[in-house]
Structures are given as structure tokens and as C-alpha cells.
Amino acid sequence: MTRGNGSSAIAKFTLTSLLLSFSGLLFAWGHQGHEVIAGLADSLLSPSARQEASRLLALEPGQTLTSISTWADEHRTKDNAKWHFINFPRDTCTYEENRDCRDGQCAIQALETQIAILSNKGVSDQDRLTALKFVVHLMGDIHQPLHAGFFEDKGGNQYQVQFEDRSTNLHALWDTDLIENLHLTNQNLINQIKLISSANKSINSNVKNSAQESCEIAHSSNFYPDRIIDKKYTEQFTPVLMERLSIAGHRLARLLNNALAD
């Protein structure tokens, strides 16, 4: 009996560890992060882009940019799993396609491909709607620093930390914990990030540059903590997180305004 209980405890611990290790892989930015980015972008659409987006979304009545923002996570398969991130070497954030995106399997190439489909009025509306779902989601992904992180720790998924007396990992911390720690509704968070003034909003940054920006944040001083997430860490990096949400929303709006224009 004792041996059986021990085996059960070990199995439970192993399962918990696996869930902690891979939780960040399941929902990048978490639901709230993606919904806030999509909601901000929605508020910045041009009239013609809004009309075209509404026409495509009407293929699935009741859908909005916000509601489709997590679709790509919920429909992740072995064929598109690598579309959600890109790994950079430890010593550089300069993108090299042959090294960093073999066979086009990375966030940069996937996003560029889906943007091209969305912009092409010659393809079917259903294919364009699917592309819209990917674009809304993946544009958010590449602005999360650890979606342009390092292969060695799977974008922080294997870097265990302690936050508010519980175990998590650095990827999950950035996906969900720092956002939830703000205790704001989606709309309140959108209102807060609209107040952020950032020069990067006005830059017509392409997909590659957006990913490289995220990589540079992951390389920045103190980004990888000494395992304990304290008040100093949250005070330093919560403004960074807020700015990434803001920039992602503004750039997504600009992208959609271009792709969906008449």
C-alpha cells in the first residue's frame, strides 16, 4: 500500500510538473492578453476595414475580432504548432530565415503567409476568414517577448520561477500572471494601454522587426530573474508588458486596415 501511494504521488507530481512546463505553450498571452490586443485593434479600424472584417466574420454569426483572438490556440495542431513562436540564438536577435525558420515553420513566415492570404481578394471568403483568425492571434504572439525567446529553455517554458508563493514558469508568467496581477477587466486594460505614449506605435514595423524587438526584450538585463518574482521585477516589467500589448494592438489595426481596405 505504501509503495502504491508513493507511486501515485510521484505520478501526480510528474503530471503537475508537465502541466507547469507546457502551460505557456497552450495559450500564448493567455486569453485576456489576446482579447485586449484584438479589442484595441478593433477600436482603431478604418470604416472600410471594419466593413470588410464584419463581412468575413458574418460567415460565423456572432464572432468578433475579440472572440476569434484565441482561435489559433484552440485549433493548434502538429502542422501549425511552430507558427506561434520563433527561437533565436542566445547571442543575436537578427533574424536569419535559413537558421531560424526552417521550412517556413515559425511565427514570422506563418504570419507573412496569412497576411498575404487575407489581403488577396481572389481567394475564398472562408480561407480569408481563417487567415484573419491566424493574423489576429499571431500578431499578438510575436509581441510577447518569450515567443521570440531561446530554444534552450523553450521560450522560458522550462525556466521555473516562484510567483506569489506558487510555482510557474517564466513563459506562463508573461502569458498570464503579470496581466492577471493587474486585476483589470478587458475594457479597463484597453483604456489603460490607450494612454501609453510610444514612438513605436507610429513606426510601420514589419513582422520581422516586431519579432526582433521581442527578442531584444528577452535579452535585456534582469529579464530572467533569480527564480523569485518579487515586487521589483513586476514594477520593472509590467510597464514593458503594457507597452507590448499597446504596440501589438496598434500594429494589428494598421495591418488590418491595409489588408482589408477596398
Strand, coil or helix: 150 = strand
Joined grid coordinates for residue 222: 534582469
pLDDT at 29: 80
Give yes or no: 103 in active site: no
Give yes or no: 75 in active site: no
* 85 contacts: CB under 8 Å, gap ≥ 6: 28, 106, 107, 141, 147, 148, 149, 155
Give yes or no: 137 in active site: yes
Residues 21, 181, 188, CA angle at the centre, nearest 5°? 125
pLDDT at 20: 37
**Interatomic CA distance for residues 125 and 258, integer angstroms:** 17
Domain spanning 28-259, CATH architecture: Orthogonal Bundle (1.10)
Joined grid coordinates for residue 65: 475580432
Q: Name the active-site residue from 31, 50, 76, 153.
A: 76
Q: What is the mean pLDDT of each run of 10 residues along the chain (262 residues)?
A: 41 38 51 97 97 98 98 95 94 94 96 98 98 98 96 93 96 96 96 79 80 95 95 96 95 96 81
Give yes or no: 100 in active site: no
| Cβ(159)–Cβ(223) below 8 Å | no
pLDDT at 158: 95
Give yes or no: 141 in active site: yes
The CA distances from residue 121 to 4, 112, 127, 253, 262, in Å, are: 62, 16, 10, 19, 9
Give yes or no: 83 in active site: no
pTM of the model: 0.87
Strands of 4-60, DSSP E:
none
pLDDT at 18: 38
Joined grid coordinates for residue 84: 506561434
Give yes or no: 143 in active site: no
Give yes or no: 147 in active site: yes
* 12 contacts: CB under 8 Å, gap ≥ 6: none
Four-CA torsion 118, 97, 209, 171, nearest 10 degrees = 90
Taking residue 206's Cβ as centre, other Cβ atoms within 10 Å add up to 14
Q: Name the active-site residue from 147, 244, 250, 251.
A: 147
Q: Name the active-site residue from 71, 128, 137, 250.
A: 137
H helices, E strands: number in the chain = 12, 3
Estimate the crossing angle of helix 107-119 against helix 125-141, to 10 degrees.
Answer: 140
